Amino acid sequence: MVTGKHVAYYRVSTAKQGRSGLGLEAQQAAVRDFLNGGVWELTGEVIEVESGKRADNRPQLQEALRLCRTTGATLVVAKLDRLSRDAAFLMQLQNAGVSFVAADMPGANSFTVGVMALVAQQEREAISARTKAALAAARVRGVKLGGLRGHTLPSHAAAAASAKVRTANADQRVRDVLVSITKAQAEGVSSLRGIAAALNARGVTAPRGGEWSAAQVKRLLDRQ
């Protein structure tokens, strides 16, 4: 049985589909069919209109992840493949610190996404190997080639990046909450107590869970 808070993420591929709702209603129906029968709360629905070709061009997905991080909700999608087959993006999702579920693959988890990312990465490496082989053959034929082709992350850099994951997640959490604070301030809320109340009303959880206090808001703002 599905329980808890959820934020739904829907993606349509073109602006025309976004305007017409083509494909959107089917995704919404799939999500609700999956959730129905449980004790759940759909705290937000986010719609992305984009081509899906670029994993770094999904601002609405980032907003959905932000909402999940700040409210403790679970990200829910109609189809897992709508989250991208790009290795870098899948790893980003895996490291986002957000629980997620797919209506078409309820048993999927961060491990599943990790496997998908590894498969996608393997495909990219295979393509890279073929490209390098073709370039090497071209050099043998005397073809002049310029520019650096491809980059490999040194092992020490990879270790350093891994060590910074938790710090990066904490910084991301601060940025996420600051977005909610900015929205509250834009609505005329200015006092620390008022901001804390606005965060609580939006369902944004405090750093260690529970509700915000004025002192916690001050500490967060001091980190800017």
State both tokens at 67. 């909402």
- Picking from 90, 114, 138, the residue at the C-terminal end of a domain is 114
Neighbouring-strand partners of residue 113: none
Both 108 and 181 in a single domain? Answer: no
Round to whole Å and give the CA distance between 109 and 213: 34
Both 98 and 199 in a single domain? Answer: no
**Is 133 part of a structural domain of the chain?**
no
Both 108 and 172 in a single domain? Answer: no
Both 103 and 172 in a single domain? Answer: no
**Is 16 part of a structural domain of the chain?**
yes
Q: What stretch of H or E contains 75?
A: strand 74-77
Phi/psi at 164 (5° precision): -95, 0
Both 9 and 69 in a single domain? Answer: yes
SS3 199: helix
**Is 63 part of a structural domain of the chain?**
yes
**Three-state secondary structure string covering 118-183:** HHHHHHHHHHHHHHHHHHHHHHHCCCCCCCCCCCCCCHHHHHHHHHCHHHHHHHHHHHHHHHHHHH
Q: Kindly list the catalytic residues.
A: 13
Both 108 and 46 in a single domain? Answer: yes
Round to whole Å and give the CA distance between 60 and 72: 18
**Is 188 part of a structural domain of the chain?**
yes
Both 171 and 110 in a single domain? Answer: no
- In the chain, how many domains are there? 2
State both tokens at 103. 């209506």
151 CB neighbour count, 10 Å cutoff: 6
Both 110 and 178 in a single domain? Answer: no
Distance of CA 201 to the CA centre of its chain: 23
Round to whole Å and give the CA distance between 76 and 99: 9
pLDDT of residue 84: 54
**Is 150 part of a structural domain of the chain?**
no
Query: Could you tell me if 58 and 12 are in contact, meaning their C-beta atoms sit under 8 angstroms apart?
Result: no
What domain range is 172 assigned to? 165-222
Both 40 and 104 in a single domain? Answer: yes
Query: Could you tell me if 43 and 35 are in contact, meaning their C-beta atoms sit under 8 angstroms apart?
Result: no
Query: Could you tell me if 68 and 74 are in contact, meaning their C-beta atoms sit under 8 angstroms apart?
Result: yes
pLDDT of residue 186: 93
Both 105 and 171 in a single domain? Answer: no
**Is 32 part of a structural domain of the chain?**
yes
- Picking from 114, 142, 174, the residue at the C-terminal end of a domain is 114
CATH number at residue 12: 3.40.50.1390
pLDDT of residue 94: 75
Round to whole Å and give the CA distance between 170 and 220: 11
**Is 218 part of a structural domain of the chain?**
yes
Query: Could you tell me if 126 and 106 are in contact, meaning their C-beta atoms sit under 8 angstroms apart?
Result: no
SS3 214: helix
**Is 36 part of a structural domain of the chain?**
yes
State both tokens at 128. 């890279």
Both 109 and 188 in a single domain? Answer: no
pLDDT per residue rounded down to tens, the chain (224 residues): 677 899 999 988 776 655 555 688 889 999 999 998 778 888 999 998 876 555 566 788 889 999 999 999 999 988 876 555 666 667 777 778 888 888 888 887 777 777 776 776 676 667 677 777 777 777 777 776 655 445 555 566 666 666 677 788 788 888 899 999 999 999 999 999 999 999 999 999 998 888 999 999 999 998 77
- Picking from 114, 135, 155, the residue at the C-terminal end of a domain is 114
pLDDT of residue 7: 95
Both 202 and 101 in a single domain? Answer: no
